[in-house]
Amino acid sequence: MDCEGALSVFTATSGNHCVQGVPFINDILRYDSLSIVGLEKNTGKTECLKYVLERLPVETKRIAVTSIGIDGETVDQVTRTQKPEIVLREGMYFGTSEAHYRQRRLVSELIDVSDESTSLGRVVTARAITGGKILLSGPSSASSLRRWMGEMQHRLNIDLIVIDGALSRMSSASPAVSQSMILATGAAYSANINTLVSKTAHVVDLVNLDLTTERNVTQLMPLEKGVWFIDKEGGLHSLDTMTSLSRDIHFEGMDDCETLYVAGALVDGFLEKVRQNKRLRQAELVVRDFTKVFVTPQQFRLFIKAGGRIRVLQKSKLIAVTVNPTSPSGYVLDSDTLCGRLSEAIGLPVYDLIKNQQ
């Protein structure tokens, strides 16, 4: 095993890169929605949510909390470790399933019961009359989540919606759903610090892909499937292949291609074909958003090194990356080393929230 930084005893010294205090709350308030996504179970997503909810100014802002999918079990279904309930503060709005609403441990006022059903019953919307604990389990798909969010914003004038994103389901962090995101990573994702840093950095690279030009956004946003290109004169052409997943993709008659757009998933095979085409790799490759990129870090790096550019139509703001150096098997990475290495690799501050709270 590569042991750099691994297996060290937890130390309480604060490193240069781990920021103390209430760092990113003000950043969050600049957006109308935030999703918190964990790269793996037990990467500290729930702790991160707790941390954020404790510090949001509930007295001056209307705040709503929900989750996507059934992610609110009291005990983690996979690893059997304890999964904490979320503590809501008085005045917070929340969306959860009927089943979990019945188990609530706070006083709350029911505002709505939706028609859409999840495996735990319908989604109910309520407002906390007193603070207390609740299990979160919200709408079960990105589109029903978007509908719920729309209702909250228009009917209840909610300022900020916080979404407890599903594990390894990036769709809840899609810019089509939420404007900003926090990424939770940690030893549970990989106990090898090198692997952990590079895998996390790859996700961050994807989240941080730059926006394409406004003209491209206007022209390409309505196209929800297929592969398209825009020529020098701004003319839009469809490639016969319906998706980038097809095996026989031919780039013919595309000598004047300025922008190549993949509406669906971008995968290794397609990216490689583009890279090997001298003309096309100089074009701008556009995808809807980072959740549509399913390429390995290797292919991604090769493409960038060859001078390729990938741009997105929609982007969410990555507010912070948090780490949990402890894996569920009890394995602990050194918090400071991890924060430092990761921060260096991604060029963003990295926080160990559990340590910060101690």
Number of residues counted as binding another protein (CB under 8 A): 19
> Which one among 110, 236, 304, 306 touches another protein, defined by CB under 8 A?
110
> Which one among 63, 68, 106, 354 touches another protein, defined by CB under 8 A?
106
Asked whether position 356 contacts another protein by CB under 8 A, the answer is no
Encoded amino acid at 206, one letter? L
Can you give 75-99 as a three-state secondary structure string?
ECCCCCCECCCEEECCCCEEEEEHH
Asked whether position 155 contacts another protein by CB under 8 A, the answer is no
CA–CA gap between residue 23 and residue 214 (Å, rounded):
32
Which residues contact residue 176 at a Cβ distance below 8 angstroms, ignoring those fewer than 6 apart?
Answer: 142, 146, 288, 289, 314
CA–CA gap between residue 163 and residue 181 (Å, rounded):
9
Nearer to another protein, 27 or 98 (CB): 98
Tell me the DSSP string of 290-357: GGGEE--HHHHHHHHHTT-EEEES---EEEEEEEE-B-TTS-B--HHHHHHHHHHHHTS-EE-HHHHH
Nearer to another protein, 125 or 216 (CB): 125
By CB under 8 A, the residues from 113 to 142 that bind another protein are: 113, 115, 124, 127, 129-132
> Which one among 101, 189, 229, 303 touches another protein, defined by CB under 8 A?
101
Q: How far is the CB of 54 from another protein (least distance, A)?
A: 13
Q: How far is the CB of 131 from another protein (least distance, A)?
A: 7
Kindly state the DSSP code that residue 161 receives in the 8-state scheme.
E
Stretch that binds another protein, among 22-30, 111-119, 208-216, 346-354 (CB under 8 A): 111-119
| Residue 241, φ and ψ in degrees, nearest 5 | -60, 130
Which residues contact residue 283 at a Cβ distance below 8 angstroms, ignoring those fewer than 6 apart?
Answer: 229, 257, 258, 259, 260
Asked whether position 225 contacts another protein by CB under 8 A, the answer is no
Q: How far is the CB of 89 from another protein (least distance, A)?
A: 10
Nearer to another protein, 78 or 107 (CB): 107
Q: How far is the CB of 63 from another protein (least distance, A)?
A: 18
CA–CA gap between residue 78 and residue 230 (Å, rounded):
46
Nearer to another protein, 29 or 156 (CB): 156
Asked whether position 109 contacts another protein by CB under 8 A, the answer is yes
> Which one among 76, 98, 159, 272 touches another protein, defined by CB under 8 A?
98
Nearer to another protein, 106 or 227 (CB): 106
By CB under 8 A, the residues from 312 to 341 that bind another protein are: none
CB 263 within 8 A of CB 288: yes
| Residue 140, φ and ψ in degrees, nearest 5 | -95, -5
Asked whether position 91 contacts another protein by CB under 8 A, the answer is no
CB 339 within 8 A of CB 312: no
Asked whether position 221 contacts another protein by CB under 8 A, the answer is no
| Residues at the contact surface with another protein, assessed by CB under 8 A | 90, 98, 101-102, 105-111, 113, 115, 124, 127, 129-132
